[in-house]
Structure 1
């Protein structure tokens, strides 16, 4: 196993659980694998495929993901193919011939195509194992249910003696049980890897209006020049709008959403994978087919609808294990819109509950990583030190008067207003609804003038999360005071609120009553080693890009960022030393060694002169 790992993939040791998982599959046992994005899931079926006789069938939901995996395997000298709708007849004929001859070690296929090939191609080849990637798609309880996946139970009937492996990065306990049942797995071994991604920093900013969001993103992007990242938006319109605003600021931004044609989407994804575009503004439709290892950051312009979605999307950053940043914006309007979507869905109660958990994560004043891990059934007995809560522990103050002002305004309108009107009343704004309904005559009109409007939004989010009022989605989003809220309103309980910490956009730190500016979050160095030769790294990066362009493959498939950093640090002098670098197997050593050694040699010669 270790010899094959080094020879083909260039690694000298396994990641946690990989060795046990591979051993289980080699014993032909059914296996369920839960491992985070970037945790090494694909190795769990790729390595046994090389060690077993026959062809491993890998079920994958997206053509782009198949293409990426096949290119990566071929770059390591492994015979892998994809059977999908982009193939022409000649390609398929050659593929069938190679499979029947036993030459193909891994065949990637969509669930629909798998069903149609059950009585044709699959019947004529020696199958070593079935690997079902993104297995949560088979479950109604999963966050990305796909009806075509439910047909996969036929694998067991047609191929009763072939081991089945199901893999996913996001599945809670209910979803796991459903995957086992749907695939009719036989006493499967279950492996649950740690869901911790310590290289990802976690940060949440709440209550920011659009203008402030864009300013913050622009500042963020200027710190991440020449680094790839994704901005997720809730709607198609949102992606276009954000991309337009960023283009006005001088950034080259791509857009990806379901409103584009297939050709446009494929072109955009291809441009991003091949580093022709560094920034993509996308709906959640984007990225599932991305295996790009050097995504350095992910921004959520809006709140995701569940922790599963959020975890999967931030998981697209830092797959190479290097430090990467994630930033989540979140506002009251997100909650209202997502709650409406959940209420109108077929699984109303579970979707509302999942949204509630996502909201609790964003609202929390405890270590965010602990909340994420706890959601997936993993406990951590210490704070992570790499999220905004850990870096800036919250201060609390007695917010009873603020809460009473808001609740009193809700009560005096007979609980017939939404948040916007509530803020108008508290701030003393003469909006059309305030004047029409006579709310300007209320005792509470203008009692919150001393609190900025965006801070009122923030306090209302805290109040919602603390359960002082709720939103009646079936009554035009009117706010209703809860029993807990009544206790505060009538002075029976105090209301602790968290001091708002906000970075002022002009860079000056200002402090007001109950408001403090946040300390800036320290940035990670983009290099792995302090002693790394930065000039050499840049030369190696340019060589990698040239080689990738010649081969028409993404640069990270030639060599990962991590491997490039190691080369710039260790500066190997011989082909043997080059082959000892982590991530360089026999095939890559022979194919690329001479080119990279030449650049290293010339660089060192120049420095010596």
Structure 2
């Protein structure tokens, strides 16, 4: 038998002891990947950095060495709930431990004395605040250090040390004093997610000495990733269907940005027969704890929560994690979605994406000092959500610096499952036009919505002096959605910066300006490409095309008139109407043909009227809105050249026909996107508060929340004036209007205001 060298023999003995304790004390037959190596490095008194995804077994790497060694291991954790879970687990294993402060009732002096007197204690738990703010705790640590009983520090959730991390905490930063005060005590740092930048920062801040770095694969093979477009009007039904179809009796988490969304969504799901409740930071501790316990025990299946919920939650059988709005970074998404499938069974991770949710994140980011970095993180996750071709697992893992072959995804993401063929469309010329407009930075063109409106040629008070400005209306033939995509692509590629600026003492806004890569785009040395998915362009799920496919065709010519390709010809009850984007014309009846074609790439029509003066000079078209004659200025005094109304056209295009119509559609069906809604609502909220201060009335008396929401969904940005005086006068006019169901003869004001009601409501003037 070969003789072992002394050092090799010692290592062999330690390894045998490690294996034995893992089996007898921790009841594990084998080690998970990297666990054994980390434990041996720890027993060699090395500094260690461990990045291991959720469920990888990080806790064992500091618990097992603590059992083997004499002395104490000090474990620092950010949350009391995390410590409670650790204590409960160690107590079950009969491993002696103590907690300094937190939920223990004993005062700190008694705890310190008890620890010093009891040599069986192996692990001490505390929060970083106890080290940074408690002198007694520091004195105690210094005492056991001098006695040679302080074996190691274990810092859990170590990414909190780094200002580049997703959950930076200032008290974690103060842990840098550990190396100075206890220079010979090894430190092991542990985290579930960390980019290379975060890893380097943690190592530098904590002054780790030649640390051994252990990086486990971030790939969670059992998680299925999917992103869906968010339709606010249908999302509750879509989530309900998803849960009832796939996870009727399974536990899940739904993450929302706001507390209001949490409560509302939980209530809506409960109405649909899904056992659900909510969780957010503004709840009482008792209520939060109660809901969490019910969810852990399975009495509640779905917990709708803000990001206040999650860290320290160890429920193995979570089958789905849904993001009602996209998360604030890929790092956050990895952590939050990673709460699903910890038992190794297949689980779903689903994001509902809408660009407008960015503005909710913006408001939170603007409260943060690291605004620019947070915006970059936000853009990265937005690019992830808008990518419908690249393997989602590949995008996530490469963010953390890990190469991944998409073949190994095994169709466990929507993009790999759908295998969308794509081509790249060169949008460089469009991008140049956008940058040229932005280079001149016209006053009043600050946000993405304002820039899009300017390029589309939408006139409003903010840009009424800019109609002759170069670039105004230069993209009138493009879809609003497509213009937005190009602008967002320029933002993602650093050709446009979205900067946060103060517009008053209390309020901030985002402003677009030229980015670092703008010159390259303008010179043509950098191309801007947008992916185009090659599939059937006819949206078979669109009710418009389903309903009208058999009576709709493209008319190339008719008589001596030339009709554009994006005109739609329809026949209904013998009345033929020609609609064109931005135009309304009434033509005599024409002979229909039988050569029907599917309509593709057609923008949802909007019939716009630039002003009352231009509207009254246009040929009058009888319809259900104006059944007898054009409304007079006397009947509608708000219609003046200072006011720019817009008439909607619904998807089924019946609105312009002289037949009754029932509308039950949200603002996005009328091309008022959520981005505009958020902007208008925020602006109107400012006006409402100002009016409240001026008049001494409550904001509800000035305008109810319900009416405020309706106005935000129905107004165009041109309805809002820049000066408060004009806004207040406008508000007073709005408040003179009462809603009631009136006869057909009354002027149907709602068609100008674009209210979305289950049945038509008429507005009259008092």
Q: Same fold (TM over 0.5)?
A: yes
Which residue is equivalent to 1:299? 322
Structure 1 position 335 matched with structure 2 position 352: no
Q: Which of the numbers 114, 120, 123 marks the counterpart of 2:140? A: 120
Query: Structure 1, residues 523-577: CA drift from partner, whole Å, max 9, x if none?
Result: xxxxxxxxxxxxxxxxxxxxxxxxxxxxxxxxxxxxxxxxxxxxxxxxxxxxxxx
Q: How does 1:384-463 map to 2 (within 5 A)?
A: 384=409, 385-396=411-422, 416=445, 447=477
Q: How far has the Cα of 1:29 moved from its partner?
A: 1.2
Distance 1:500 1:242 in 2: 34
Distance 1:60 1:360 in 2: 33
Which residue is equivalent to 2:239? 217
Q: How far has the Cα of 1:14 moved from its partner?
A: 1.3
Distance 1:151 1:37 in 2: 26
Unpaired runs of at least 5, structure 2: 1-17, 504-508, 550-597, 603-766
The answer as to whether partners of 1:231 and 1:300 remain within 8 angstroms in 2 is yes
Distance 1:402 1:347 in 2: 32
The answer as to whether partners of 1:409 and 1:444 remain within 8 angstroms in 2 is no
TM-score, length of structure 2 as denominator length: 0.57
Structure 1 position 136 matched with structure 2 position 165: no
Structure 1 position 275 matched with structure 2 position 298: yes
Q: How far has the Cα of 1:236 moved from its partner?
A: 1.9
Distance 1:248 1:444 in 2: 48
* Structure showing greater relative contact order (alpha-carbon pairs closer than 8 Å, 6 or more residues apart): 1
Which residue is equivalent to 1:309? 332
Distance 2:466 2:275 in 1: 47
Q: How does 1:330-409 map to 2 (within 5 A)?
A: 330-339=353-362, 341-342=364-365, 345-364=368-387, 365-383=389-407, 384=409, 385-396=411-422
Structure 1 position 148 matched with structure 2 position 168: no
Distance 1:411 1:231, change over 3 A: same
Which residue is equivalent to 1:537? none
Greater Rg over alpha carbons, structure: 2
SS of 1:308's equivalent in the other structure is helix
CA RMSD between the two structures: 4.2
Distance 1:387 1:23 in 2: 37
SS of 1:302's equivalent in the other structure is coil
The answer as to whether partners of 2:254 and 2:304 remain within 8 angstroms in 1 is yes
The answer as to whether partners of 1:425 and 1:434 remain within 8 angstroms in 2 is yes
Query: Structure 1, residues 14-40: CA drift from partner, whole Å, max 9, x if none?
Result: 121111110001111111111112211
Distance 1:434 1:349 in 2: 29
Structure 1 position 185 matched with structure 2 position 204: no
Q: How far has the Cα of 1:203 moved from its partner?
A: 1.2
Distance 1:457 1:232, change over 3 A: farther
Which residue is equivalent to 1:321? 344
Distance 1:362 1:487, change over 3 A: farther
Distance 1:407 1:234, change over 3 A: farther
Which residue is equivalent to 1:42? 59
Distance 1:92 1:203, change over 3 A: farther
Distance 2:20 2:303 in 1: 39
SS of 1:85's equivalent in the other structure is coil
Distance 1:494 1:77, change over 3 A: closer
Q: Which of the numbers 3, 11, 23 marks the counterpart of 2:40? A: 23
The answer as to whether partners of 1:410 and 1:416 remain within 8 angstroms in 2 is no
User: Which shows bigger deviation, 61-70 or 405-414?
Assistant: 405-414
Distance 1:164 1:264 in 2: 37
SS of 1:326's equivalent in the other structure is strand
SS of 1:28's equivalent in the other structure is coil
Distance 2:432 2:601 in 1: 16
Distance 1:35 1:229, change over 3 A: same
Q: How far has the Cα of 1:477 moved from its partner?
A: 5.2
SS of 2:274's equivalent in the other structure is coil
Distance 1:225 1:119 in 2: 54
Which residue is equivalent to 2:268? 245
Distance 1:155 1:82 in 2: 19
Q: How far has the Cα of 1:179 moved from its partner?
A: 1.6
Q: How far has the Cα of 1:199 moved from its partner?
A: 1.5
Q: How far has the Cα of 1:136 moved from its partner?
A: 1.3
Q: How far has the Cα of 1:58 moved from its partner?
A: 1.0
Structure 1 position 6 matched with structure 2 position 23: yes
Distance 1:466 1:185, change over 3 A: closer
Distance 2:231 2:460 in 1: 19
User: Which shows bigger deviation, 151-160 or 20-29?
Assistant: 151-160
Distance 2:26 2:541 in 1: 47
Distance 2:155 2:122 in 1: 16
Distance 2:79 2:227 in 1: 30
The answer as to whether partners of 2:457 and 2:473 remain within 8 angstroms in 1 is no
Query: Structure 1, residues 403-440: CA drift from partner, whole Å, max 9, x if none?
Result: 9699789969968385667888999999999999999x
Structure 1 position 169 matched with structure 2 position 195: no
Distance 1:53 1:504 in 2: 68
SS of 1:89's equivalent in the other structure is coil
Distance 2:458 2:259 in 1: 32
Distance 1:343 1:160 in 2: 39
Query: Structure 1, residues 287-318: CA drift from partner, whole Å, max 9, x if none?
Result: 11212222222111222222222222112222
Unpaired runs of at least 5, structure 1: 516-609
Which residue is equivalent to 1:585? none
SS of 1:39's equivalent in the other structure is coil
Query: Structure 1, residues 371-413: CA drift from partner, whole Å, max 9, x if none?
Result: 2111212112344231111111223367679996997899699
SS of 1:120's equivalent in the other structure is helix
Q: How far has the Cα of 1:55 moved from its partner?
A: 2.7
The answer as to whether partners of 2:74 and 2:154 remain within 8 angstroms in 1 is yes
Q: Which of the numbers 66, 69, 78 marks the counterpart of 1:61? A: 78
Query: Structure 1, residues 441-476: CA drift from partner, whole Å, max 9, x if none?
Result: x8789856xx7x889877875676577876565596
Distance 1:283 1:369 in 2: 24
Q: How far has the Cα of 1:54 moved from its partner?
A: 2.4
Structure 1 position 107 matched with structure 2 position 130: no
Distance 1:467 1:91, change over 3 A: closer
User: Which shows bigger deviation, 258-267 or 369-378?
Assistant: 258-267
Structure 1 position 194 matched with structure 2 position 225: no
Distance 1:130 1:344, change over 3 A: closer
The answer as to whether partners of 1:332 and 1:457 remain within 8 angstroms in 2 is no
Q: How far has the Cα of 1:105 moved from its partner?
A: 2.4
TM-score, length of structure 1 as denominator length: 0.71
